[in-house]
Amino acid sequence: MSEPTKTATLTVDGQSYEFPVLSPSAGPDVIDIRKLYGTTGMFTYDPSFTSTASCDSTITYIDGEKGELLHRGYPIDQLASKSHYLEVCYLLLYGALPDAAQLEDFESRVTKHTMVHEQMHRFFTGFRRDAHPMAIMVGVVGAMSAFYHDSTDINDPWQREVASIRLIAKMPTIAAMAYKYTIGQPFVYPRNDLDYASNFLRMCFAVPAEDYQVNPILARAMDRIFTLHADHEQNASTSTVRLASSSGANPFACIAAGIACLWGPAHGGANQACLEMLKEIGTPDRIPEFIARAKDKNDPFRLMGFGHRVYKNFDPRATVMKESADEVLELLGVEDNPILATAKELEKQALADPYFAEKKLFPNVDFYSGVILEAMGFPTSMFTPIFALSRTVGWISQWKEQIEDPGMRIGRPRQLYVGETARDYVDVENR
């Protein structure tokens, strides 16, 4: 926590109150109003938290005006091009880039935890065959609390560490199993000789009847998708994880809560919704019709994959994702993919439209990710589970940071009550 540098004065009914102003290492100053209620008897009103800093954090910084995303200070484009997912996981979890020995040790620990308890296989079969893989992920990750009792004590740093490694290691296995279950194929066990992304691709696409060779370019693209989604400071699902964790809930329950929040189409579900939208548009000539709908106040339709609460400039992840889309489609020999052509033309026309310019609406990370994932062979229902597995490290890093903060207390927002005031109960026959 930084020391106050100046104060802010609040004047209500002629009475003034002083509040400390804290300066972050980057970003806008914050007014420390923790003593507001005690001093003034008033709350602040900030539904959807558009102006509220809910915690101190050293993990991720976003400058929405500049279109900048830093993990522990390192720009996302450098991490996406020079690093790889497990190294970024180490960076997010422990705060610094690992040296060669630390990286080897970390990768080895993650690799050795990729299998799930054999009894969990039976847990999967309790779901209906047509269940959405996200429904399975919410259930199975929550159920990990019932399988890994020896890493649920949040007050024990060793157990926290084991839970963190287990979650990062097992999430691809669980996501792949959710996929295999819904298509009626046998589960494919992880293999320790493969890297994280190759292992995930193999668990999704291999079948016992046939050998499966992972294409290294696809594995690199997969790894980059994981990296680009690894963390994004206090977004809705991360705030959900932090709020769940503030009550002392175990890590598996907290991450399951994050997965549930991520599922919605305004958040992680946008990649699925975006690809479905691009398919519905179908051909570039129908784009003006959809842009007109997005601008129509009486139509609930929005351009999926466009707009962001924080970015009011290009989402730096979208730029890398667009390059990846070109690379992957070229590799797969589908350069004239109609969905990619529609996406590019939609981006061009929307960016040239004053409505999107004035509201500072740019493509976000989800705009191109679906195009790549579909080209790789994933059905749309797997897009959000892949986001969830990538974001797990971000959730855990934020969870760990919060637990290690000595000032942590249970999260408990207040409200502006606009309902009935006290009134007497009326017996049913007299209503």
Using alpha carbons, select from 84, 120, 116, 87 the residue that is nearest to residue 102. 87
Q: Is 308 a catalytic residue?
A: yes
Amino acid type, 301: F
Question: Quick one: which H or E segment has residue 245?
Answer: helix 236-246
Using alpha carbons, select from 330, 337, 305, 336 the residue that is nearest to residue 318. 305
In angstroms, what is the minimal distance from the CB of 362 to ligand ACO?
Answer: 10
Q: Which is nearer to ligand ACO, 9 or 48 (CB)?
A: 48
Q: Does 305 bind ligand ACO (CB under 6 A)?
A: yes
In angstroms, what is the minimal distance from the CB of 307 to ligand ACO?
Answer: 2
Residue number closest to ligand ACO, CB atom: 307
| Rounded Cα–Cα distance for residues 96 and 420 (Å) | 53
| Rounded Cα–Cα distance for residues 122 and 127 (Å) | 10
- Whether 224 and 80 have beta carbons less than 8 Å apart is answered as yes
In angstroms, what is the minimal distance from the CB of 389 to ligand ACO?
Answer: 14
In angstroms, what is the minimal distance from the CB of 267 to ligand ACO?
Answer: 4
Q: Does 312 bind ligand ACO (CB under 6 A)?
A: no
| Rounded Cα–Cα distance for residues 268 and 147 (Å) | 27
Q: Does 321 bind ligand ACO (CB under 6 A)?
A: no
Question: What own/partner pairs with CB < 8 Å and gap ≥ 24 does 207-212 have?
Answer: none
Catalytic residue, chosen from 84, 223, 308, 315, is 308
| Nearby residues of 336 by Cβ (< 8 Å), 6 or more positions away | none
Applying CB under 6 A, among 165, 206, 219, 303 the residue interacting with ligand ACO is 303
In angstroms, what is the minimal distance from the CB of 202 to ligand ACO?
Answer: 26
| Rounded Cα–Cα distance for residues 198 and 381 (Å) | 20
DSSP state of 112: T
Longest CA–CA separation in the chain, Å: 79
Q: Does 228 bind ligand ACO (CB under 6 A)?
A: no
Restricting to residues 251-290, which ones interact with ligand ACO according to CB under 6 A?
A: 266-268, 270
| Rounded Cα–Cα distance for residues 5 and 1 (Å) | 12
Distance of CA 126 to the CA centre of its chain: 27
Applying CB under 6 A, among 109, 117, 302, 312 the residue interacting with ligand ACO is 302
Q: Is 117 a catalytic residue?
A: no
Q: Does 134 bind ligand ACO (CB under 6 A)?
A: no
Q: Does 149 bind ligand ACO (CB under 6 A)?
A: no
- Beta-sheet pairing, 68-71 with 74-75: antiparallel
Catalytic residue, chosen from 195, 223, 231, 366, is 366
Restricting to residues 327-386, which ones interact with ligand ACO according to CB under 6 A?
A: 359, 361, 364-366
Q: How many residues bind ligand ACO (CB under 6 A)?
A: 18
In angstroms, what is the minimal distance from the CB of 323 to ligand ACO?
Answer: 18
Q: Which is nearer to ligand ACO, 263 or 399 (CB)?
A: 263
Give catalytic residue positions. Answer: 308, 366
Binding site for ligand ACO (CB under 6 A): 266-268, 270, 294, 302-309, 359, 361, 364-366
